[in-house]
Amino acid sequence: MPFELPPLLASLCLPDDIPGLTPPQRAILAQEVRDVILRVVSQNGGHLAPSLGVVELTIALLAVFDPRRDAVVWDVGHQAYPWKLLTGRADRFDTLRRRGGLSGFPHRSESPCDAFGVGHASTSLSAALGMAVARDLQGGDEHVTAVIGDGALTGGMAFEALNQAGGMGKRLIVILNDNSMSIAPSVGALSQFLHENPLGLRSVTKSDGPPAALSLFLSRNLLTKRARQAKQRMAGLLLSVPRIGPQLLDMAQQGELSFKSFFTPGTLFEAFHFNYIGPIDGHDIGQLVRHLETAKGLEAPVLLHVRTRKGRGYAPAEADPERFHGVSGFSPDTGRPLSPPSDEPQGPGYSCAFGGALCKLAESDPRIVAITAAMPEGTGLSDFRERFPERFIDVGICEEHAVTFAAGLASRGLRPVVAVYSTFMQRAYDQIIHDVCLQKLPVVLCLDRAGLVGEDGPTHHGAFDLSWLRVVPNLSLAAPRDEGELAHALYTALKLDGPTALRYPRGRSRLPASPFAAEEVCVPPRQFRFLPPGSGEMLLEGEGRVCVVAAGQRALPAVEAAQRVAAKSGRRASVFDPRWIKPLPEAQLLTLAKTHEALLLVEENSLLGGFSSAVLELLADHDLSGALKVRRLGLPDRFVPHGEARGLRAELGLNVDGIAAALESLFTELP
């Protein structure tokens, strides 16, 4: 059945018809876009609040620019659902984040209107500047625009690009989408600067008050051609004054700067040699179009400061934009999450287990400090933030800073715990090596969303962390199989004297049919248990022919697969959970290799350099790789696309069925 669109949206040839729409039609289109996004995201899940906040901005961009010719680069890309709807993909929008459907982020192979693929924060300015330089080198005249949120602007990479762009003076438009949020509320001095009036008082978030209106009037009118020409004439007159001309010009420029800085928040960007316009009401399409046209006519870098409301048009999202930043299925009428399918694991969830255990440990250890990079809710730290506010630090979208900041804390005797998604921790690799591990500082790195995350796709899969972490000296690395083991691993990491990384997946681990989850069903556990580094655990004793060695979240599915094979054919495989990827449980693994005819190694990480590679290296070093059959299951040497996580695991043979099939095949290969 074809996807049904609202009347105006269905009647338009998109994006070509948008410039010709009347103001009333644009308002209707904005409402229809919100209705469609709400309908689809409530079913498919996704980034709701960010996209609802930029509907009018998207319409204005498409009214002013030709998206097939002019480049619009969205930072992060989680707010690009309106862009997808209005650039020729409306008829497929119901496939959003589904396997084989539209990606949840801009994707160059999906549409010529997606100028640059994104998924991580703070990249838009660098990419857009590169496009602007390429345009000029190739003699083009297209426009290049970057749309970046105030949360992403806290990232160091964004400031590096601002510095370069201002110095080069290229024709470039930067739109600062200022909604006072990244995922959680924006933090730091930059956010305070953008939302304080010249007297240092907090201003209203609306952009139609007197200070904002005066700022907009000044910034807009000082950029007109007439104003620029008048400034040039005045500069010439001042310079012509004998002996003191340069001093007079300097005084005049300082006076202008002081006057503007009193009324506008644009002085920061003007210090980077950007022309500043704003703040602009980001939900007034007419005003947006006018100022975009002004920016379009400037032959220099310009920043438009646009104020929007995250979750605009949907009351539950406006009331709680952090919860509705990224959502699973929910009722659009109430905003309440839908109940998970009955066959889904029903445990508390890894992030919840981590947060609960950390709170309990912090009760008795005042040295513990929790650090996150703009994701307290997603990493399970919301309760910690409430209970220990003085020991909770959200650094914003600044993973590199988070890790070195933690190293500084550790160097003075504290025990910092850095909770960041696996895919984002990649950004801090140098800091992990140089600032933490080289100095053997006791920092605990907690990599949430390790392995396949599902619908957010290749920009968000934690596919490589075992590979890039296990090669770093001085670092211990654990992959707990379930929520209880995660709590014990965290306790263990805080007892060790050096750096430790814990990697764990999104969601829940407990398979309803498996009795082999950790004994503790409460979070946090009643009694923490130390897990000695370099020790694993035998979960099933088999008949001595085949042993499944399954790391992390694949251990319990491996148990169920072995039970299924035993019930079907009577062939009983052993199942071993290594628990530690580094140091490996070498003695136990060597014993397994000597007492079994075959090993099946399973991991939810790239097979290149991951856990199974470590085991193969161990076997080779001990001359045990000859007669022993070894098979591996893991992530292939390609980027895994978006789709439901369990569907992706089924395709890759990493679910119970796939492990059972590999196990049966291995049994048949044995004499």
Phi, psi of 188 (to 5 degrees): 95, 175
Name the strand (E) or helix (H) holding 110: none
Residue 152 annotated in ligand binding: yes
Our answer to whether residue 427 is catalytic in this structure is yes
Instruction: Label residue 257 by pLDDT band (50, 70, 90).
Output: low
Select which of 307, 312, 427, 571 is catalytic. Answer: 427
Consult the annotation and say whether 245 binds a ligand: no
- Would the annotation count 465 as a binding residue? no
pLDDT, tens only, 518-560:
444 445 777 899 999 999 999 999 998 999 999 999 999 999 9
Q: What are phi and psi of 185, to 5 degrees?
A: -55, 140
Segment 598-627 mean pLDDT? 96
371-382 tens-digit pLDDT: 999 999 999 999
- Specify the residue for token string 């992530």: 635
pLDDT given at position 246: 73
What predicted TM-score, i.e. pTM, was given to this entire model? 0.86
Per CATH, the homologous superfamily of domain 350-503 is Thiamin diphosphate (ThDP)-binding fold, Pyr/PP domains (3.40.50.970)
The DSSP secondary structure of 599-611, one letter per residue, reads: EEEEEEEESTTSH
User: CA 18 to CA 611: how far, in whole Å?
Assistant: 52
Instruction: Report whether pLDDT(22) > 70.
Output: yes
Confidence of residue 514 (pLDDT cuts 50, 70, 90): very low
Q: What is the pLDDT at residue 267?
A: 77
Rounded Cα distance, 368 and 416, in Å: 6
One-letter-per-residue 3-state SS of 195-231: CECCCCCECCCCCCCHHHHHHHHHHHHCCCHHHHHHH
Tell whether residue 550 is among the known ligand binding residues: no
Is 151 annotated in a binding site? The answer is: yes
Q: For 300-309, 336-345, 560-569, 623-632, which range has the lowest pLDDT when averaged over its residues? A: 336-345
The CATH number for 537-669, chosen from 2.130.10.30, 3.40.50.920, 3.60.20.10, 3.40.50.300, is 3.40.50.920
Mean pLDDT for all residues in the chain:
89
- Predicted confidence at residue 187, as pLDDT, reads 62
Return the domain boundaries, the chain: 7-319, 350-503, 537-669
Backbone dihedral angles phi then psi of residue 575, each to the nearest 5 degrees: -135, 125
Q: In what order do the strands lie in the sheet with 173-178?
A: 71-74, 144-149, 173-178, 302-307, 275-281
Q: What is the 3-state secondary structure (H, E, C) of 506-566?
A: CCCCCCCCCCCCCCCCCCCCCCCCCCCCCCCEEEECCCCCEEEEECHHHHHHHHHHHHHHH
pLDDT of residue 93: 96
Asked if residue 121 belongs to a known ligand binding site, the reply is yes
Peptide bond into 557 cis (omega under 30): no
Query: What whole-number percentage of the chain has pLDDT above 90?
Result: 77
Residue 220 has pLDDT above 90, yes or no: no
Beta-carbon contacts of 87 under 8 Å, excluding residues fewer than 6 positions away, are: 14, 15, 62, 67, 111, 113, 114
Q: Which of 310, 323, 360, 415 is catalytic?
A: 310
Return the pLDDT at 235: 66
| The pair of three-digit structure tokens given for residue 343, joined into one six-digit string | 């066959």
- Smallest CA-to-CA distance from 483 within 323, 358, 343, 583 is with 358
**Predicted confidence (pLDDT) at residue 517 exceeds the cutoff of 50:** no
Q: Is 310 a catalytic residue?
A: yes
In b/e form, how buried is each residue of 564-581, taking b as 16+ CB within 10 angstroms?
A: bbbeeeebbbbbbbbbbb
Does 78 belong to an annotated binding site?
yes
Domain covering 7-319 assigned CATH 3.40.50.970 in the classification: yes
Kindly report, residue by residue over 466-490, the tens digit of the pLDDT: 999 999 999 999 999 999 999 999 9
Position 240 scores a pLDDT of: 74
Give residue 526's pLDDT: 78
Is 435 known as a binding-site position? no
Tell me whether residue 119 is annotated as binding. yes
Token pair, residue 670, equals: 């044995």
User: pLDDT at position 3, please?
Assistant: 84
Check whether 460 has a pLDDT greater than 80: yes
State the residue for tokens 């289109």.
29
Domains 7-319 and 350-503 share a fold: yes
- Please indicate if the annotation marks 314 as binding a ligand: yes
